[in-house]
Homo-oligomer: A and B are copies of this chain.
Amino acid sequence: MTEAAVRRRGRGAGGGGAARRAERSAVSFETAKYIERNIPNFEVLNEEALAIIEANAETILEEVGVNFVDNPAALQRWRDAGADVQGERVRLPKGLARELIKTAPSEYTQHARNPDRNVVVGGRNLVLAPVYGPPFVRDAAGGRRYATMDDFKKFVKLGYMSKWLHHSGGTVCEPTDVPVNKRHLDMLLAHMQLSDKPFMGSVTEPSRAQDSVDMCGILFGKEFVQENTVMTSLININSPMTFDDVMMGALEVYAANNQACIISPFIVGGAMAPVSVAGTLTQVLAEVLAGVAYSQLCKAGAPVIFGAFVSSIDMNSGAPTFGTPEASLVTYGAGQLARRLGLPFRSAGSFCGSKLPDAQAAYETANSLNMGLLSGVNFMLHSCGWLEGGLVADFEKFVMDADQLGALHQMAKGIDMSEGMQAMDAIHEVGPGGHYLGCAHTQANFKTAFWKSDLFDYKPFETWEDEGARDTRQLATSRVERLLGQYEQPAMDPAVNEALEAYVAEKKASMPDAFI
């Protein structure tokens, strides 16, 4: 097993922060570098269509505008920037948002406590992070149930051990057994202690965003945090075109501290956006322009991502549907719009509507993952473990999806046209009617030639049957158990560990439990 190839790096203690951070993670499981695409993006819209959508978005911003709710400071910032503010409605003259977002970086580095795990978000890169937000978990043994902190920790461990996952994520599930006003502390502590991959901060209250910044100050050093991005956090827009004070409050904290935010319309097509792809793209662009512009009003240069969470809807049941062609078309188009703005792009994921990690789940997920790679996504939240429209984080599906992410890595490499890979000698050597299994070229290259699942069944039928005729879910159950059994916590400076735990304990003691 690749993940079991424990790598013990014998670095001596160094002087600076980087060396100290390296020392903290002396035991580590193998993680692939984030994807650097060597393939083109799929461009579904032509220049004319893009220009129409961009002009329409400017019209929407000027004529309809957006609401900033319960946020007088935001309204003042907008007034000062030249927007037309009436009540909570902010109308942006054409070109204003586009001018303001020029200060947003086209890419940024998010640092991890293990510098080998740093990720560069933007450009041709793709960073993969796990599912975010489900209140329920499911596995074959325990069925569907409310998520707990124990489940949360298991998912962080699985994410740490997943070779193709570059990021530990954020709320991999909602630990419903911890008070709602305290769970962000436990979640952050788990990401910091149980993994050495980069992670996300809390966004459910501005004070919790500040806690996230403060805990990172302990983990990375205060000064380091002010000068470097150590969190990428999810700021949803209440589509259509509403920016609430909670999300904006968190954004303000993160921007002020140079921390990255995904600014992301949350759209169930036909409900939060028009029922058409072109209309949805127009609204998405208008919303992101307003949101990113606002981030730059808070702090010019603050790193942000153009987000687009898009699903379609089953008009019979009202349920959101996933892995559908309309969601793909929106995402392909949104990727083009993001690139034209020079912003990193977040979309796609292991989306599905199925209640079980079955064939429906896999078809829908594969549709979305493949589309995510080809649409130029730079940060893919929910890249593994999503089930039942995001209500459930599924343990088996987590490892099933995480395995498929390996295929994206290989696909992204494109076609190696080096002389060796042209294989002319091999074709000459083997000739008509021969076979390549034994030829020199095959012997020299077969180990790395083909991507191989660590989970799927490739065995002869008889072997597979003798071993119990297991389906993918059963294989995944074994894999979850095996990974959790092999887990080893990455080392951390004991003083840092103690300080983090003291911070959490003190904060928790300072307020009563709240469960809503």
| Bound CA–CA A407/B322 (angstroms) | 11
A300 CB-CB contact with B under 8 Å: no
- Report chain B residues within 8 Å CB of A426: 274-275, 279
Chain A stretch 384-404: residues in CB contact (< 8 A) with chain B: 388, 391, 397, 400, 404
- Report chain B residues within 8 Å CB of A1: none
- Report chain B residues within 8 Å CB of A460: 317, 319
User: Quick check: A354 and B457 within 8 Å, CB to CB?
Assistant: yes
A109 CB-CB contact with B under 8 Å: no
A495 CB-CB contact with B under 8 Å: no
User: Quick check: B359 and A358 within 8 Å, CB to CB?
Assistant: yes
A52 CB-CB contact with B under 8 Å: yes
- Report chain B residues within 8 Å CB of A238: 433
Given contacts A49-B417, A274-B441, A422-B279, A431 and B362 within 8 Å (CB-CB): no
Among A353, A360, A404, residue most surrounded by chain B Cβ atoms (within 10 Å): A360
- Report chain B residues within 8 Å CB of A397: 359
Chain A stretch 309-327: residues in CB contact (< 8 A) with chain B: 312-317, 319, 321, 324-326
User: Quick check: B437 and A270 within 8 Å, CB to CB?
Assistant: yes
A402, chain B: closest CB distance, angstroms: 12
A428 CB-CB contact with B under 8 Å: yes
User: Quick check: B240 and A430 within 8 Å, CB to CB?
Assistant: yes
- Report chain B residues within 8 Å CB of A357: 359
Contact with B along A446-463 (1 / 0, CB 8 A): 110111110111111100
| Bound CA–CA A420/B435 (angstroms) | 58
A13 CB-CB contact with B under 8 Å: no
Stretch with Cβ within 8 A of B (4 or more), from A36-44, A111-119, A504-512: A36-44
Chain A stretch 374-424: residues in CB contact (< 8 A) with chain B: 374, 388, 391, 397, 400, 404, 407-408, 410-411, 414-418, 420-424
| Bound CA–CA A447/B356 (angstroms) | 27
A296 CB-CB contact with B under 8 Å: no
A269 CB-CB contact with B under 8 Å: yes
| Bound CA–CA A241/B427 (angstroms) | 10
Interchain CB contact (< 8 A) of A275 among B355, B415, B449: B449
A39, chain B: closest CB distance, angstroms: 6
User: Quick check: A427 and B240 within 8 Å, CB to CB?
Assistant: yes
| Bound CA–CA A226/B371 (angstroms) | 44
- Report chain B residues within 8 Å CB of A436: 240, 270-275
Given contacts A426-B279, A427-B60, A428-B64, A370 and B366 within 8 Å (CB-CB): yes
A354, chain B: closest CB distance, angstroms: 6
- Report chain B residues within 8 Å CB of A433: 67, 238, 240-242
User: Quick check: A415 and B278 within 8 Å, CB to CB?
Assistant: yes
Stretch with Cβ within 8 A of B (4 or more), from A3-11, A181-189, A469-477: A469-477
A445 CB-CB contact with B under 8 Å: yes
User: Quick check: A457 and B325 within 8 Å, CB to CB?
Assistant: no
A15 CB-CB contact with B under 8 Å: no
User: Quick check: A427 and B274 within 8 Å, CB to CB?
Assistant: yes
- Report chain B residues within 8 Å CB of A360: 362, 453, 455-457, 471-472
- Report chain B residues within 8 Å CB of A427: 60, 64, 240, 274, 279, 282-283
A63 CB-CB contact with B under 8 Å: yes
- Report chain B residues within 8 Å CB of A67: 432-433
Among A64, A432, A452, A471, residue most surrounded by chain B Cβ atoms (within 10 Å): A432
Q: A315-B446, A358-B359, A362-B363 are in contact. List 10 more A-B contacts (CB 8 A).
A: A39-B44, A40-B44, A238-B433, A315-B447, A315-B450, A317-B458, A358-B358, A360-B457, A363-B363, A363-B366
The 3 closest A-B pairs by CB, nearest first: A279-B423, A366-B366, A362-B362
Binding site for B on A (CB under 8 A): 39-40, 42-45, 48-49, 52, 56, 59-60, 63-67, 89, 144, 238, 240-242, 269-279, 281-283, 312-317, 319, 321, 324-326, 328-329, 333, 353-367, 370-371, 374, 388, 391, 397, 400, 404, 407-408, 410-411, 414-418, 420-424, 426-428, 430-437, 441-442, 445-447, 449-453, 455-461, 464-465, 469, 471-473, 476
Listed by A's residue number, 15 A-B pairs whose Cβ atoms lie within 8 Å are A52-B422, A56-B422, A64-B432, A240-B430, A241-B431, A317-B459, A321-B452, A356-B472, A358-B362, A359-B359, A360-B471, A362-B366, A365-B366, A366-B366, A367-B370
